[in-house]
Structure 1
Amino acid sequence: MEFTVSGRLEVRITPSDVGKRVSVRRLVEGGAQRQEFTDTVGVLTSWNDDVLVITRRDGQIVRIAQRTLVAGKVVPTAPARRRGPAATYPELARVAARAWQPVVSERLGDWELRAASGFTRRANSVLPLGDPGRPLDEALAFVRRWYADRGLPAYVQTATGGEGTQEQLCAWLVDRGWEREVSAELRVGALAPVGDLDVDTERVTLSRSVDADWLGRYQRSGEVGPDVLRVLGSGPSVWFATVPGGEGAPAAIGRCVVDGRWAGFMAVEVDPARRRAGLATAVMAALARRALDEGASAAWLQVEEDNGGARALYDGMGFATHHSYHHYRAPEGDGPGDVVRE
C-alpha cells in the first residue's frame, strides 16, 4: 500500500472525501516504545470533531483520531478484478429478497418493511434500497412503530463491501444506537460447475413442497406455523431437496429458488453424524441441475461469517464473495424484545 510522494508520507484526504473509499495509515497510540503503524481500508463515513469514521468491507466500523493520521488517500470504489457473475448490489438484494418473501410488507419510499411472524430476519427486517422519502430519524421512528405494532423487534438489513452498498447507513445506525447482531456474506458463482460436480445425485429427491421429514432436519424453523411454510414456499420457482436417512429426519436437505438467470441455494443442512460424506455436495448438484434445466446460469448463496465448514465447501465450488450483509437491531426501549430466528 503506497502512500508516499518523493519518499514522504502524505495525507491526501479531507472531510470533503466523506462517502469515498479510502486507505489510511495511522499511528498506534500506547504501543511499544518504537512507533507502530496500522492501515485501514474502507468507506470514509464521517469526519467530525477531529475523528474519522471508516466502515470496512465486512461492516466493522473503525474510529480514528485525526492526530494519529500519518497518511491517507482515496482508492478505487471497487476491485479491478471481478470474480463470479456480473451483478449490481441492488439486483442481488432484490433477487435474495424474492427468495425469502414476507407475509406482510409495506413501502416507505424506497424502503420495504417486511414481517413474517419472526421467521428469519431476512423476512422480518427493512430492506433499504434508496431514499425512505423522509428524514432518517423520522423513517427509523416509523420502522420501530411498524414492527412494535406486530410484536416484533425492529431490524434494518444493510450491506457493505460492494459498489453501491450502504456503509454510510451502517455508520448512521451505529451512531443512533442500533446494534449489529448478524453478519454474513452473499456469494456468487457460475451455476454450471456446480451442476457438473462428479457426485451421485440419485439418492437426492426433489419436490415442490416441504413435508414433515424435511422440516425435521431444518434447524431454523422452530415451531412450524403457517407463516414458516409460506416463507419457505415463496419465490418464483422453489425446489426442495431431501436425502433419506432411514428412520427419523433426512440425512440432508436443501432449498433452491430459481429466479431468471439466478439460482439461490439455502437451507443446505446435513445430519451431524453423516457429515463429510458428500451429502451437501450431492444436494447442491441435484438442485443446480434442475435450475440449469429451467434456464438459470448464475448462482448465489448466503453464508454466515462463523460457518467455517460451509465457507470451505463453497470455496471449493468456486463461489466468491460479492458483498457482506448485516442486520442491525433497534436499541431497547421502544419496542418488544422478541428473538427473531435467522
Structure 2
Amino acid sequence: MDDLQPGRRVVIRYSLEPGDTHSTSDALGVVTSADEAVVDIDTKRGPLRIPRPQILLVHEVPPAPTRSGRTHEIVSAVDLRRISAAAWLPADVSWLHVENLRNEGGESDAEIGLLQKGWLLRSSDSATRRANSCLPVTDSGLGWEQGLDAVEEWYRNRQKPSRIQIYSADDSSALAPECEGLAPLLSARGYSPSEAVLLLTGSTTEAADGASNPAEAAAPGLIIDVADAPTPEHFAAWTSQRSPGDAPGSDESFRGLIEADQPCEFVTAYAEHPDGSRSMVAACRVVERSKWGVITNLITRPDLRRRGAGRAVVRAAAALLAQRGVRSYLVDIEVGNEASLGLFTTLGATVRHRSWYAEQG
C-alpha cells in the first residue's frame, strides 16, 4: 500500500538536489495530492512539492495530537472521522472544495490533482450510510449554504437522497466546528437526523486483555482464525444481521467495501464439533489506517450470544493490532446497540464523540 496516498500524514526524507543523497531534508505533513512525478504535502510552514525521484524515505505517522495524554484520547474528532471514513471508502468519492471546482475540466487537472480537503462526498450501490453520505472535514471554501447546494446537486446527479454525516467535537450534542454551520440549514431544508452513532476509542493492549496474539484470545470451546478475505458464511451473517447503518444492499458493492485495500483482515471465532467440522460463532473486520486500528462489522450468532464469543473476537482483533505496533483503535456503534457498547466499555474503550446522518426528506 502506497504511504503517499492523499490524506495520509507522513514524514518524507528527500534529497535537495536530484541524485544527491548527501544533502537531504525531512518534511512532516499531510499528503494533498500525488502522482508519478510529484507529491504535494501541507506542512506547518506551508505547501511543499517534492519530485518523486528525490524521495528517499516515507514513513506514515498518526494524526497530530490535540493535547497531552494517551494516544487514543488526544486525537481530534475530525481526525477520528477521517480515519473511520478511510476504512470504508466506496469507489465513487469526490472532495468538495472551491479549488477543485476551479480546476474542474481545466488543463491543470493532471498537474494539480484533486485536493484532499473540504467535504468528502461518498456514493455506493450498497445501502450503507457510511458509503452514501457527505462528511465535512475542512472548510470547503464555498460557505455553508453554497456548499450544501453543491452536495445536493452531487447526489441528485446520482439519483440519490442527499445525506450529511455531522458530528460533535466530544461526547455531547454540540456539533464540531467543521459542521456546526450546517445545523440551521439542514433544519430549514427538511433534513431529519438519524439515531446517534457513538465513536469509541481504546488502547489495543488494554482491549487484548492479556492476549499476546489472536489465538490466546479464544474462549473455551472456540478457536480463533485470522484471514485476508471473508467467506460466504460471513456475508450470509452480515446480511441476516443487518442494521440501518450496515445494510448490504448490492452484493457486489458491499463486497467491494468489505474487501478493502490491505491491511484488512477478518477475525473469526469458530466452534469445533466432534465430527471435525466447525461453525462460525462471531466475527469482525479489522482495518489499519493512519497507524490506527478500525474495527467494523462485528457480528455474533443470535443463539450463541453472551457466551464470550464476541469478546474473544474483539480481544483477538486488538491483539493482532498490538502485534503490529498499532497502539490505538476506534469503533463506531449505534447508540441503541447496548450489547456492543457494553462489550467495548468493559475492554477499556470510551466514547469520544457522536455523529448523526441527516437525510433530506
State the TM-score bracket (shorter-chain normalisation).
Answer: 0.5 to 0.7
How is 1:101-250 mapped onto 2 (pairs within 5 angstroms)? 101-109=89-97, 110-162=118-170, 164=177, 166-197=179-210, 199-200=217-218, 203-218=223-238, 219-220=241-242, 221-244=247-270, 250=280
**Alignment root-mean-square deviation, CA:** 2.6
How is 1:68-79 mapped onto 2 (pairs within 5 angstroms)? none
One-letter amino acid of the counterpart of residue 263, structure 1: G
Corresponding residue number in structure 1 for 2:304:
274
Corresponding residue number in structure 1 for 2:335:
305
Q: Tell me the distance in 1 between the aligned counterparts of 2:144 and 2:120.
A: 14
Residues 205 and 243 of structure 1 are in contact (CA less than 8 Å); yes or no, is this contact kept in structure 2?
yes
Q: Tell me the distance in 2 between the aligned counterparts of 1:264 and 1:235.
A: 13
Q: Tell me the distance in 1 between the aligned counterparts of 2:318 and 2:202.
A: 12
User: How far did residue 175 of structure 1 move?
Assistant: 3.0
User: How far did residue 168 of structure 1 move?
Assistant: 3.6
Q: Tell me the distance in 2 between the aligned counterparts of 1:261 and 1:131.
A: 25
- Residue segments in structure 1 that go unaligned for 5+ positions in a row: 1-77, 332-342
Residues 164 and 359 of structure 2 are in contact (CA less than 8 Å); yes or no, is this contact kept in structure 1?
yes
Q: Tell me the distance in 2 between the aligned counterparts of 1:325 and 1:150.
A: 24
Corresponding residue number in structure 1 for 2:77:
89
Q: Tell me the distance in 2 between the aligned counterparts of 1:140 and 1:223.
A: 26
For residues 106-140 of structure 1, give each alpha carbon's deviation from its aligned partner in whole angstroms, at most 9, with x where no partner exists.
Answer: 11110111111143111110011122232333322
Residues 128 and 248 of structure 2 are in contact (CA less than 8 Å); yes or no, is this contact kept in structure 1?
no
- Residues 250 and 230 of structure 1: is their aligned pair in 2 closer, same or farther, counting only changes over 3 Å? same
- Residue segments in structure 2 that go unaligned for 5+ positions in a row: 1-65, 98-117, 171-175, 212-216
For residues 277-314 of structure 1, give each alpha carbon's deviation from its aligned partner in whole angstroms, at most 9, with x where no partner exists.
Answer: 10011111111111112220001111111111111111
- Residues 204 and 80 of structure 1: is their aligned pair in 2 closer, same or farther, counting only changes over 3 Å? closer
For residues 233-270 of structure 1, give each alpha carbon's deviation from its aligned partner in whole angstroms, at most 9, with x where no partner exists.
Answer: 22551111222357897211111111243111111110
Q: Secondary structure at the match of 2:200?
A: strand
Percent identity between the two aligned chains? 23
Q: Tell me the distance in 1 between the aligned counterparts of 2:205 and 2:278.
A: 33
Corresponding residue number in structure 1 for 2:294:
264
Q: Tell me the distance in 1 between the aligned counterparts of 2:312 and 2:201.
A: 19
Runs of 4+ in 1 over 4 A off after TM superposition: 78-84, 245-249
Q: Tell me the distance in 1 between the aligned counterparts of 2:162 and 2:328.
A: 32
Higher helix share: 2
Give the alignment's TM-score, normalised by structure 2: 0.64
- Residues 318 and 277 of structure 1: is their aligned pair in 2 closer, same or farther, counting only changes over 3 Å? same
Q: Secondary structure at the match of 2:74?
A: coil
User: How far did residue 222 of structure 1 move?
Assistant: 3.7
One-letter amino acid of the counterpart of residue 87, structure 1: V
Residues 217 and 253 of structure 1 are in contact (CA less than 8 Å); yes or no, is this contact kept in structure 2?
no
Q: Tell me the distance in 2 between the aligned counterparts of 1:301 and 1:235.
A: 19
How is 1:30-41 mapped onto 2 (pairs within 5 angstroms)? none
Q: Tell me the distance in 2 between the aligned counterparts of 1:82 and 1:326.
A: 26
Q: Tell me the distance in 2 between the aligned counterparts of 1:228 and 1:118.
A: 5
Residues 259 and 296 of structure 1 are in contact (CA less than 8 Å); yes or no, is this contact kept in structure 2?
no
One-letter amino acid of the counterpart of residue 299, structure 1: Y
Give the alignment's TM-score, normalised by structure 1: 0.68
Corresponding residue number in structure 2 for 1:66:
none
Q: Tell me the distance in 1 between the aligned counterparts of 2:69 and 2:325.
A: 27
* Aligned with residue 322 of structure 2, among 242, 267, 292: 292
Q: Tell me the distance in 2 between the aligned counterparts of 1:149 and 1:203.
A: 48
- Residues 118 and 216 of structure 1: is their aligned pair in 2 closer, same or farther, counting only changes over 3 Å? closer
